[in-house]
Each structure stands twice: as C-alpha cells, then as structure tokens.
Amino acid sequence: MNERLNAITMRLTEHLHSVITEFQVTENELRTALNFLTEVGKSREYQLLSDVLHVSIAVDNITHAANHDDKSTESNVEGPLYRDEAPIMSPPVNICSVEGTDDEILYVSGQVFSSEDGRPLANAVLDVWQANGKGDYENEDPTQPDYNLRGALLTDENGRYEFRTVVPAPYEIGKGGPVGEFLKEIDRHAWRPAHIHFKLSQAGYKSVTTMLFINDDPWIDNDSIGAVKESLILKIEECNDPKEMSSRGINRKFYTSEYDFILSPEKVSITKNKEEYSIR
C-alpha cells in the first residue's frame, strides 16, 4: 500500500467534507464543480489551476527548503515558457535582439556566491528568460525573433555577471479557458507582476530556478499566482547621466539593477521536514 498517498487522501477528504458542510454545498454546485474539473483536464489547464490556487508556489517552497540551505537564493516556479538550449552569450551580453523605441533599456548585474563560505563563484551559468516590454514571450509571439529575450551567460573570475535587456511588462496568465472563466466568476484578476526568470547552475552546487520581480510594478502585492517574495524583488534605478549613456553607447535614459545570487553546495543535505539539518 502507498501509505503516504493513503494518508494524504484521508486528510484531503476530511478537509473537503468540512468545506462542504460549512457551505452546505448543493448537488447542482457539485455537478458544476465536477464539470469544471473535466473541462480543466480537456483544456490541459491543471498546471494553471494549481498556479492560481497558489499550490504550485507552496510546493516549490517546500521542495526548495528541503534541498537548499537557508542562505541560498529563494526559488520560484519555472512557469510554462522556459526553453532549453538558450544561446550561450559572451560579454557584453544583450539578450534582446529587437529593441523597440518604446522599450526601456535595463542592465542587470551582480555576483554569484557560495552559501558555504561566501566566496564568489566563477563560471556559474545564468540561464535567463523574460517577456518583452508588452508582456509577451517570444514563443507565444510570432512578431519576435526566435529566442529573443533568452540567453545563457557565465560569471567571470570574480563571480560577476552583467546583461543588457529591456524592462519587462506585467502580463496576464492564460484566461481564455475554464480557469480564466473561474477567475472571472470569483472576481480575481489574472495579472502577474513583471519579472525576469533565472536558472542558475554551477558544478558542485545545487541549481536554483527563480524569478526576480520589478520593484514598482502595479501587481507586486497582488500576483495572480502568489509567487512574489520580498528577497526576490529587483530594485531598478533610472540613469540620465549623458556620460554613462555614451560609455554604454546609447542615447537615451536607461535603468540599472544589481542582484546577487547565492548557491548552496551539493554536499549539504537538509531534511527540514524532519526538523533536522545534516551536513555530509
């Protein structure tokens, strides 16, 4: 017998019964709920449903806490739009291949450190992907070139990285199917605050998938998938200095932002669910 599945099922059943009793759920409502779940399956929207119920981020938190030490960068959900084999770029890195005149130029830089002793990690890989200034990812937008706003870069000998991109815009998660209808019915929006996704990896260290949120976004306190974390907010600063602009070869204002990542070594094994830490 699968004891864990059995225990989860028993507990879930108890909670379901308690909600049904509390709200005196009717047969019609039950039928509507079952039909909804059938439609969610037909539309392949179970992942989306898990996201908007904030289940995805809750499980991601548990998984990260069980595998990484407390000092490492917090994780976040990967989302459905990651693509393997992003082009590997050498400095100076610019992940945006078509910059519109309305796009705001952004330089993101920082260092990657080890949580063990704080030393900078050279040759760590940052795999980056994001939406453009209209909130669209290239693989959902035929007007953008292939792999636009995606790229993999390496930290230098001091663990430093820098890339040029554009400030992403917030976007709405898919709302054309049953999950979108459900959100409408309960008067919940589908917006995600603007963010940049990262996958960090380095030999001997545990990989981290995360995302950084733009600090002044209107949805920062009300993410439809509940994934914003204080430690993952990116503070961006405007720069109008003509000298700085010319040194970067641009003729308009731009934005900069610094963020340091911390990775935990492979050898650290953490079992938080047993409330103990062991270091092998």
Name the minimum Å distance from CB 217 to Fe ion.
Answer: 12
How many residues interact with Fe ion (rule CB under 5 A)? 1
Taking the least distance from each CB to Fe ion, the nearer of 79 and 151 is 79
Minimum distance from CB of 132 to Fe ion (Å)? 12
**Closest by Cα among 279, 253, 261 to 110:** 261
According to CB under 5 A, which residues from 236 to 255 bind Fe ion? none
Nearest distance, CB of residue 150 and Fe ion, angstroms:
12
* Cβ nearer to Fe ion, comparing 41 with 80: 80
Comparing every residue's Cβ against Fe ion, the nearest one is 79
Q: Tell me the C-alpha distance between 60 and 79, whole Å.
A: 11
Nearest residue (CB) to Fe ion, 168 versus 178: 168
> Which residues are paired to 237 by β-bridges?
256
In the complex, least distance from residue 74 CB atom to Fe ion, rounded to whole angstroms? 16
Of 140 and 181, the one with the shorter C-beta distance to Fe ion is 140
Among the residue ranges 50-58, 77-85, 119-127, 236-244, the one whose residues contact Fe ion (CB under 5 A): 77-85
Least separation in angstroms between residue 200's CB and Fe ion is 16
Of 71, 79, 148, 160, nearest in space to 123 by CA: 160
DSSP 22-64: HHT--HHHHHHHHHHHHHHHHTT-HHHHHHHTTHHHHHHHHHH
Q: Which one of the spans 75-83, 154-162, 239-247, 266-274 is the region binding Fe ion (CB under 5 A)?
A: 75-83
CA 258 to chain CA centroid, Å, is 18
Q: Is the dihedral of CA 60, 65, 267, 117 positive or negative?
A: positive
3-state helix, strand, coil in the chain (%, to 5): 30, 25, 45
Q: How far is the CB of 264 from Fe ion (least distance, A)?
A: 24
Footprint (CB under 5 A) of Fe ion, residues 78-137:
79
Query: Is the Cβ of residue 79 or residue 178 nearer to Fe ion in the bound state?
Result: 79
Specify the residue, 113 or 198, whose C-beta has the smaller distance to Fe ion.
198
Site for Fe ion in 8-37 (CB under 5 A): none
On whether the CB atoms of residues 99 and 247 are closer than 8 A, the answer is no
Rg (CA), the chain: 22
Q: Report the DSSP beta bridge partners of residue 278.
A: 269
Q: Given the rule CB under 5 A, which residues bind Fe ion?
A: 79
